[in-house]
Amino acid sequence: MTDLIHRAAQALRSARKTIALTGAGISAESGIPTFRDPGGLWDRYDPEEYATIEAFRRTPGKVWRMMKDFTELKTARPNPGHYGLAQLEQMGFLRCIITQNVDNLHQDAGSRDVIEFHGNMRQVICQQCDKTLPLEDISLETLPPYCSCGGVFKPAGVFFGEPIPMHAMLRSQEEAQSCEVILVIGTSAVVYPAADIPRVAKEAGAQVIEINPERTDLTSGVSDFLIQEKAGVAIPQIVAAIRAMAS
Ligand code: APR
């Protein structure tokens, strides 16, 4: 394992530009359940009933109640994996993070350039007049919450069946096509178009380094190598290895 950590540290030190794509796995050690691991969110809630825009429009109150129950999201704190990526950015070895997560933990850990590919849950958008407010500015006493125009507020996360925010899509393509290394951390790489990002980087000549305790659809054909470890363990080790090389 340590030689893969050193291989990753070397790659980041010599790359002109490194980016990261993260998924729910990087927040697992913050207590937020992933979606597809055993016992994950989609074991408890049918995504067809809770995660599609059609389901939200059909039963907004039911979807809001599920999200309100999702207290882990409110109490979660960044873990060493998030802090490690923020350190790599500060050290100049990581340009940006493209995250599929909506938990804001990268920003809470100090990362500055974070592309929210699936939006975020910090804001709500009125489905009728598009008014956008911070989540904490609305009352969740009655669900679903209503806008003053009578429309229903929806969390600003991207539901299945909704488009990826255009700026996030364009910026992610641009970064993937121009990086020399992409770290792919904590994602099963089964949801598109996010799962395309490592392939776009690979086709543009980048080295693809996966960090995940499990193999994924990327591991054999796309990734150059897999550090089969938890993000909260592997990322701090990469940071330490870079520091040791620099001294
Ligand atoms: N460190 C790194 N990876 C981990 C850890 C950990 N501590 N724990 C679990 N993993 C890995 C799992 O092995 C799995 O490959 O994280 C991945 C989580 O996969 P998913 O649950 O499918 O999450 P993700 O890939 O982010 O899902 C993509 O699907 O439902 C939608 O919008 C949702 O953004 C989400 C998208």
Prior bond of 193 cis (ω within 30°): yes
Alpha helices in 158-204 (DSSP H): 166-178, 197-203
- What gap in Å lies between CA 21 and CA 231, rounded to an integer? 12
Annotation says 118 is catalytic: yes
* Predicted pLDDT at 73: 72
pTM over 0.75: yes
Residue 205 Cα distances to 6, 178, 179, 183, angstroms: 21, 9, 8, 14
- What gap in Å lies between CA 18 and CA 73, rounded to an integer? 28
Same domain assignment for residues 98 and 217: yes
Same domain assignment for residues 59 and 139: yes
Ligand 1 neighbour 100 (Cβ under 6 A):
yes
Neighbours of 166 (CB within 10 A): 8
CATH number at residue 7: 3.40.50.1220
- Is residue 38 included in any domain, yes or no? no
* Predicted pLDDT at 71: 67
* Predicted pLDDT at 179: 98
- Is residue 37 included in any domain, yes or no? no
Same domain assignment for residues 129 and 10: no
Matching residue, tokens 């590919």: 117
Ligand 1 neighbour 25 (Cβ under 6 A):
yes
- Bridge partners (DSSP) of residue 208 are 182
How many angstroms separate the alpha carbon of residue 148 from the centre of ligand 1?
37
Q: Residue 208: phi, psi to the nearest 5?
A: -110, 115
Ligand 1 neighbour 191 (Cβ under 6 A):
yes
* Predicted pLDDT at 70: 75
Render each residue's pLDDT in the chain as its tens digit; 247 residues: 679 999 999 999 999 999 999 999 999 999 999 999 999 999 999 999 999 999 999 999 999 999 887 766 778 999 999 999 999 999 999 999 999 999 999 999 999 999 999 999 989 999 999 999 999 899 999 999 999 999 999 999 999 999 999 999 999 999 999 999 999 999 999 999 999 999 999 999 999 999 999 999 999 999 999 999 999 999 999 999 999 998 7
Same domain assignment for residues 99 and 127: no
